[in-house]
Amino acid sequence: MAATPARFTFRARTVVVDVPHLGFATAIAAWCAWFCQDAWRAQRDVENLIMILPASLLAVILYCFVAAGCVHIVSDPEQGAVAPRQPLAPGMARKIAGTMALLATYVVAGPLIGFDIVSFAYILAMLWFLGERRILVLLLVPALFCAIAIYCFNTILATPLPLLFFAGDAS
């Protein structure tokens, strides 16, 4: 996610575009427009569209303002070189992407395989990924978390969680 905007030259003018931000705003506006179309397709009556239609139109109008703010035409090529936001610290992009990827894996694998083993593996992997190297901590923290969390949810709160090894009666 570059903090420096893309630059294009068009008829002796430099166009500076904050592409990541424009992409994000476009994604929001596209979802709003799609949602409106989906609601329209589902049922074309006042009861269904009383709020969705005006809100979606407003979203598209607001998007135009945001998109316009993402594009700057400058005559001086040096102008507009200022980053639109603070760049991430070195290594942060990798850490954040890794954290997101591990979270996504956990969210999908937890309910499918079982929260006991997957929680243990997730916390161990995250600890390792974030720089923990002490073996005792790497094993003890996930084990304690799993024991306490599973006991609390399954036994005290009687909330069945999908488990692989400790299913027992609760699940």
Partner 1 sequence: MIDLTALAAAVHLLCSSWQPWLVVVPGILLGLIVHAVPGLTTSMALAICLPLIPYMDFLQALIFMTAMYAGALFGVAIPAILLNVPGSAAAVGTTFDGFPMAQVGRHNEALGLALAASCTGQAIAYLLLLCFAEPIAAFAIRLGPPEMLVVALWGMTLIARLRGRHLARGLLAGVFGLLLGTVGLSVRGAARGTFGFDLLLDGIPIVPAIVGLFAAAELFNLVGRDYIVDDLTRRRVDAGRILAGMRDTFRYPGTLLRGALLGSGIGILPGGHAIANLLSYSEARRAAKDPEKFGKGDPRGIIAAESANASSEGGSMATLLALGIPTGGATAVMLVAFGMHNITGGPAFMRDHTDLVYAVILSSLAQVGILAVIGFGFIFVAGFVVKVPLRMLVPIVLALAVIGSFALAQNMAGPITLAVFAVIGWLMQRFDYPVAAVVVGLLLGRLTEGALLRTYQMSGGDIGYMLTRPIALVMLALFAISVALPFLRPARPQVAAGG
Question: Which positions touch partner 1 (CB under 8 A)?
Answer: 1, 20-21, 24-25, 28-29, 31-32, 34-36, 38-39, 42-43, 45-48, 50-52, 55-56, 58-59, 62-63, 65-66, 69, 85, 89, 91-92, 95-96, 99-100, 103-104, 106-108, 110-111, 115, 119, 122-123, 126-127, 130-132, 137, 141, 145, 149, 152-153, 157-159, 161
Within 13-83, strands assigned E span 13-17, 71-74
Least separation in angstroms between CB 169 and partner 1 = 16
DSSP string, 20-33: HHHHHHHHHHHHHH
Contact 72, 55 (CB under 8 A): no
Least separation in angstroms between CB 91 and partner 1 = 7
**How many CB atoms within 10 Å of residue 35?**
14
Sign of torsion, CA 163 152 105 139?
A: negative
Least separation in angstroms between CB 119 and partner 1 = 5
